[in-house]
């Protein structure tokens, strides 16, 4: 399962969601995320909690291995799928509720690796991605 930034942030910020997402992760062998998701989660948590980004990065560096979540390197071959996701589901001036660029990368990675996507952001619900 690919874990999006929104799920990472929710697991570190919300006890109820943390339990729910941890339960879902227990039932899958592969738990992965991307560098963009980790960075986005740190930014989200900084905005929500006011904790400094350096401290949050330290917390994340301990949290990921504790949860058995590996960070994938994204290949340039994902760019066409991410671009397609941006065209189909991305934010535009007329569609402010679309996926961000990094969310399009998450979407593309989940599709590429044929994994469900664990997310907490409702914008993913408007796509055709398999939810984790």
- How do residues 111-132 score in pLDDT, each as one tens digit? 999 999 999 999 998 899 999 8
Q: Tokens 């943390």 — which residue?
A: 18
Confidence of residue 88 (pLDDT cuts 50, 70, 90): very high
Q: What is the pLDDT of residue 87?
A: 93
CB-based contacts of 52, cutoff 8 Å, min separation 6: 46
41 in a domain, yes or no?
A: yes
Mean pLDDT of the chain: 92
132 in a domain, yes or no?
A: no
Q: How far, in Å, CA of 27 to CA of 44, rounded?
A: 26
Q: How far, in Å, CA of 94 to CA of 91, rounded?
A: 8
pTM for this predicted structure: 0.90
Q: How far, in Å, CA of 28 to CA of 84, rounded?
A: 28
25 in a domain, yes or no?
A: yes
CB 87 within 8 A of CB 107: no
Please say if the pLDDT value at position 64 is more than 90.
yes
Domain count, the chain: 1
Helix H, strand E, coil C: the string for 79-119 is HHHHHHHHHHHECECCECCCECHHHHHHHHHHHHCCCCEEC
56 in a domain, yes or no?
A: yes
Q: What is the pLDDT of residue 96?
A: 75
Please say if the pLDDT value at position 2 is more than 90.
yes
> 13-22, 64-73, 109-118: lowest mean pLDDT where?
13-22
46 in a domain, yes or no?
A: yes
131 in a domain, yes or no?
A: no
38 in a domain, yes or no?
A: yes
Encoded tokens for 38: 């980790």
Average pLDDT of span 94-107 = 87
Residues of the domain holding 34: 2-126
Closest by CA to 23, choosing from 7, 9, 34, is 7
58 in a domain, yes or no?
A: yes
- Residue 18: which CATH number? 3.40.50.1010
Q: What is the pLDDT of residue 126?
A: 87
């Amino acid at each position: 399962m690919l874990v999006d930034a929104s799920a990472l942030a929710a697991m570190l910020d919300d006890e109820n969601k943390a339990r729910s997402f941890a339960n879902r992760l227990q039932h899958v062998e592969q738990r992965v995320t991307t560098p963009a998701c980790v960075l986005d989660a740190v930014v989200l948590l900084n905005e929500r909690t006011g904790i400094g980004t350096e401290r949050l990065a330290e917390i994340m560096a301990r949290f990921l291995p504790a949860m058995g979540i590996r960070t994938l390197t994204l290949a340039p071959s994902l760019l066409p799928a991410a671009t397609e996701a941006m065209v189909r589901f991305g934010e535009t001036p007329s569609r402010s509720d679309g996926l961000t660029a990094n969310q399009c990368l998450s979407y593309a990675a989940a599709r590429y690796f044929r994994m469900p996507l664990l997310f907490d952001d409702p914008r993913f619900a408007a796509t055709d991605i398999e939810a984790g």
